[in-house]
Structure 1
């Protein structure tokens, strides 16, 4: 764990740095029966400011769940770098042509055959209210610390950085 806490701005920058490097986020929603479901959505290339945008399908389970329960969790993982982020917040279904044009790329044609004009496109905006992130020293170094701790019977002396941030 980290001995020094980061400032709010430093934490936001760290979260943004981790998120930017992960192609897919796992978005956890609650369905009408109260069950939790996690689904991958594509991370947008944008600076993190406390909100995250996704492009989804109006007929998807994620959108149906958000209509029923707007509280979500968004998680990012880059195991090779030992970096993880978990964000909690409120999801909103948004109709905003300018934002769609800003986020759109030809990648989405695989999901929306009619392109940006596809009527099934749904923008999803998550306003994060809290976040937690973990950063290790990478797989090899972290594994070494854990292995040494297991052999000696002591707690691993350096497990990376962990911060919780209110947004």
Structure 2
């Protein structure tokens, strides 16, 4: 697997491709506790600055944890396509109507009583460190490449991995 660190716009584009493509992240909060609190979250958007947005309940354990310590970890995993992403960052909880309307969709009615639900919040994760693994050809092709490598003794390129360096100004 080759290493390719990406910076700024390329890093944001890769982050967006992976996070929105995989869509479900495991959000870890209370990182100083063992075990940390984990919960699956549906990615709403990776914005132009590389920040990741989710909707959440104000009463949730993870929102309460963010209020205490806003350090979070996001883990995205698509083993079928051999695409993975991990992000360490800072989370901010928003209650503003404009933000909530921007991200609320009909499917969110399963969790909330509409965009006016007083329990509805948005979470913005500002990435501080990110790392990705991406095999452009998918699992099947990589298994073939591994088999070829085992038979021939020649190494095969199984994809790329690297750090995503994003400079985000906090607002």
TM-score for the superposition, normalised by structure 1: 0.86
- Give CA-to-partner distance per residue, 1:73-123, whole Å, 9 cap, x none: 1121222222111111001111211011010101111001x2111111121
Report the CA distance between 1:155 and its aligned residue. Answer: 8.3
CA contact (8 A) 2:83 2:133 kept: yes
SS at match of 1:116: coil
| 1:60 aligned partner | 60
| 1:163 aligned partner | 162
Report the CA distance between 1:135 and its aligned residue. Answer: 0.6
User: 1-side partners of 2:63 and 2:73: how far apart?
Assistant: 14
User: 2-side partners of 1:158 and 1:73: how far apart?
Assistant: 29
2:78 paired with 1:90: no
- Superposed, 1:66-85 pairs within 5 Å as 66-85=66-85
Unaligned runs of at least 5 residues, structure 2: 167-171
Unaligned runs of at least 5 residues, structure 1: none
| 2:26 aligned partner | 26
User: 2-side partners of 1:77 and 1:31: how far apart?
Assistant: 19
CA contact (8 A) 1:90 1:128 kept: yes
Q: Could you say what the CA RMSD is over the residues aligned between the two structures, in angstroms? A: 2.3
Equivalent pairs, count: 165
- Greater relative contact order structure (CA < 8 Å, 6+ sep): 2
Closer, same or farther: CA 15–116 of 1 in aligned 2, 3 Å: same
User: 1-side partners of 2:163 and 2:81: how far apart?
Assistant: 19
SS at match of 1:117: coil
More divergent stretch after superposition (75-84 vs 49-58)? 75-84
| 2:169 aligned partner | none
TM-score for the superposition, normalised by structure 2: 0.84
| 2:126 aligned partner | 127
